[in-house]
Structure 1
Amino acid sequence: MLSEQSTATVRATLPAVGAAIGDITELFYAKLFAAHPELLRDLFNRGNQNAGLQKRALAGSIAAFATHLVAHPDQRPDVMLRRIAHKHASLGVTRDQYRVVHRHLFEAIAEVLGEAVTPEVAAAWDEVYWLMANALVAIEERLYAGRRVAAGDVWREWTVTGRTEETADCTTFRIAPADGSPAPAHLPGQYVSVQVELPDGARQIRQYSLSTAPGSPVRAITVKRVHGPAGAGPDGEVSHHLHARVAVGDTLRVSLPHGDLVLRDSAAPVLLASAGIGCTPMLSMLEHLADTGHGAPVTVLHADRSPADHPLRADHRALTHKLADATARFWYEESAGPGDGAGRLDLADVPVAPGTEAYLCGPLPFMRSVREQLLAKGVAAADIHYEVFGPDLWLASA
């Protein structure tokens, strides 16, 4: 994939680019939003931008892609690319936007690295960029074609048909297409993007997992109200808007479902581990397993602050009880009841069947801990799948 000449140049300059990638992405976003303020207003998550999370995720993905190309010039890191492509498809990203990104990114590279960016260096990193960009475009266009829509045409009007306060900070919204058409098919574990118009006129977008199974007659999202630290900017502005302003009968702009963390069609034992609001894709998977009569062992694990903070706790237990061979274990940092674990999720006395397929969703430290424990119990790395809410910082923090 990467030419021999560019491979040598990228290998030689990767340490310098890697060391400066934080400054490069910082300047890139400044240039991008100065030229296209509508992108920050209506496409990019302002909370993640303010907290620096998107910058870290972009830096991590560029560095990981370039490192992979240098080590394996004839291969692509398809798992990483699919994850990014699904997120882009849920936002309606199109081919033309990659040219806009290219212009401002390479201006930032040239400005930060200065005379070190010779024509040879620029050409090599240009090749890296377009290998990544074109691979993403190809995956995204296949995703659009699979939905039988034009590239970027993912948005539809949906009506809120029900609302349930699950906990003090979590609310479930049941939604249906406003035009009365059937809800688009989804796979267990996928998410939708929801765009709302905020008081300042911005049309901000957030992703929320569908917490119902594909066979369910309803579609639902469960939204946790995000409380950012004082002075941290607009973190949580969409979740607060949904909680405070959206009622039954209101209309939301919702994307077609996407997401690459989906339950595999397999007869293997399954382990579903979540923390906090990370239970929502797990609930969709669990309901699907119950609907299809999955016969192999299913282990359901969840960690939360307290039973009162555990969203959809009753559904978690009820769906587990529908399966022929399933167990549920919950851990709580506060107010753990009889049969519950106290503190953090601990797999020490949890049986894990051979050949288990594991699915994880929650904060990054939680997933790292669970993954390490599963590996120690003999679960193959290839059989451990994860979902991160927000920018994927796994690579950025590696």
Structure 2
Amino acid sequence: MEKYVCTVCGYIHQGELKNDIICPICKVGFDKFELLESNNTFKDFIVVDKVKENELVTSFYLKLKEGTLKKHKAGEFISVMPIDKGENSKEVRQYTLSMKPGEDFYRISVKKEEMGIVSSYLHNNVEVSDIIKATDSLGEFTLSDSKKPLVLLSGGIGVTPMMSMLYEALESGRDILFIQAVLNSSAHTFKDELEKIVDENSQVKKAIFYQTPLEEDKLNKNYDFEGFVSDRWIKDNVPQNGKFYLCGPVGFMKHIYNTLKSIGINEKEINYEMFGAYQDLAE
């Protein structure tokens, strides 16, 4: 049976690809599907490192067992199949690549979901030297060529594509504002990595928001602002001529999207990705 992969979200369709096929996850049409066997089969990847980022997120570093690793574009994801229960029972999930494009490995940073079959399996069962099956990189949520100031806004695990975009954008020399909203230090992913980038690159500025800081969290050390990313803060701090990329919970992105529109940002300058079923933020 032929299999087709949605190049937008990674959903895999089995069977004939008809013109009326709509992706059940991101709602795109059949023209966004590609034949899986012909260009992007599942391949063996060796887990070469496993790093706990915080209480919720663990990063897995993957190297291709054989062949040449495809260079990914910042914002792309891979489909991962660590659990194979037979031809009719395969558990596949999509995880955005979170590292600099051009490395000789892929890095996925996985949040352990309470009811997540695959995320729990990765956290609890997959160790260094294990082999998992994954695809080459896919996706259309990528940086466009531009010299405009870049604003990367993330909520929670939505930071993964933002981190890869940050690395790619460093080479352009453009001004970058990295806005990250998290619960507190227990869920703050890439804190040290981001601080190193900011220290070494004068064109990068950051704004870290903790919704509910822990007692040990210190303002201006662990984070920059307490609470949510407010309308007023956005209006006072983002560049009017910027290019915006959003990723995170739907409520977070709706708030950011509507605020940006309210201050006159053209919707063509606002780009976003959903982790899960697609929703139009304009609706």
Inter-CA distance 199–334: structure 2 relative to 1 (3 Å threshold) = farther
- What one-letter code is carried by the residue in structure 2 that aligns with 1:329? A
State the identity as a percent. Answer: 24
Q: Which residue of 2 aligns with 1:49?
A: none
Q: Which residue of 1 aligns with 2:229?
A: 345
Q: Structure 1 residue 198: deviation in Å?
A: 6.2
Q: Structure 1 residue 161: deviation in Å?
A: 0.5
Q: What does the per-residue CA deviation read over 1:70-105, in whole Å, with 9 as the maximum and x for residues that have no partner? A: xxxxxxxxxxxxxx94246x34536x4445xxxxxx
The alignment partner of 2:237 has SS state of coil
Q: Distance in 2 between matches of 1:194 and 1:387?
A: 18
- What one-letter code is carried by the residue in structure 2 that aligns with 1:208? Y
Q: Which residue of 2 aligns with 1:323?
A: 201
Q: Which structure carries more helix by proportion?
A: 1
Q: Distance in 2 between matches of 1:377 and 1:351?
A: 11
Q: What does the per-residue CA deviation read over 1:265-294, in whole Å, with 9 as the maximum and x for residues that have no partner? A: 21111000001111000000011122x1x3
Which of 203, 207, 218 is the equivalent residue of 2:94?
Answer: 207
Supply the RMSD in Å over aligned alpha carbons: 2.8
Q: Which residue of 2 aligns with 1:266?
A: 146
How do 1:235-314 and structure 2 match up within 5 A? Answer: 235-290=115-170, 292=171, 294-314=172-192
Count residues in correspondence: 268
The alignment partner of 1:130 has SS state of coil
Inter-CA distance 384–173: structure 2 relative to 1 (3 Å threshold) = same
The alignment partner of 2:7 has SS state of helix
Alpha-carbon contact 1:215-1:288 (below 8 Å) kept: no
Q: Which structure carries more strand by proportion?
A: 2
Q: Distance in 2 between matches of 1:86 and 1:285?
A: 18
Please tell me whether residue 223 in structure 1 is matched to residue 143 in structure 2. no
Q: Structure 1 residue 328: deviation in Å?
A: 0.4
Which of 108, 132, 136 is the equivalent residue of 2:29?
Answer: 136
Q: Which consecutive residues of structure 2, in runs of 5 or more, have no partner in the other structure?
A: none
Q: Structure 1 residue 152: deviation in Å?
A: 6.6
Q: Distance in 2 between matches of 1:168 and 1:246?
A: 17
Q: What does the per-residue CA deviation read over 1:218-251, in whole Å, with 9 as the maximum and x for residues that have no partner? A: 3200000001xxxxxxx31110000000000101
Q: Structure 1 residue 332: deviation in Å?
A: 0.8
The alignment partner of 1:295 has SS state of coil
TM-score (norm 1): 0.61
Q: Structure 1 residue 137: deviation in Å?
A: 3.4
- What one-letter code is carried by the residue in structure 2 that aligns with 1:247? E
Structure 1 residue runs of 4 or more that deviate by more than 4 Å after TM superposition: 149-153, 198-201
Q: Which consecutive residues of structure 1, in runs of 5 or more, have no partner in the other structure?
A: 1-37, 44-83, 100-128, 228-234
Please tell me whether residue 390 in structure 1 is matched to residue 281 in structure 2. no
The alignment partner of 1:93 has SS state of strand
Q: Which residue of 1 aligns with 2:63?
A: 176
Q: Which residue of 2 aligns with 1:52?
A: none
Please tell me whether residue 193 in structure 1 is matched to residue 79 in structure 2. yes
Q: Which residue of 2 aligns with 1:23?
A: none
Q: Which residue of 2 aligns with 1:93?
A: 13
Q: Distance in 2 between matches of 1:173 and 1:131?
A: 33
The alignment partner of 1:338 has SS state of coil
The alignment partner of 1:372 has SS state of helix
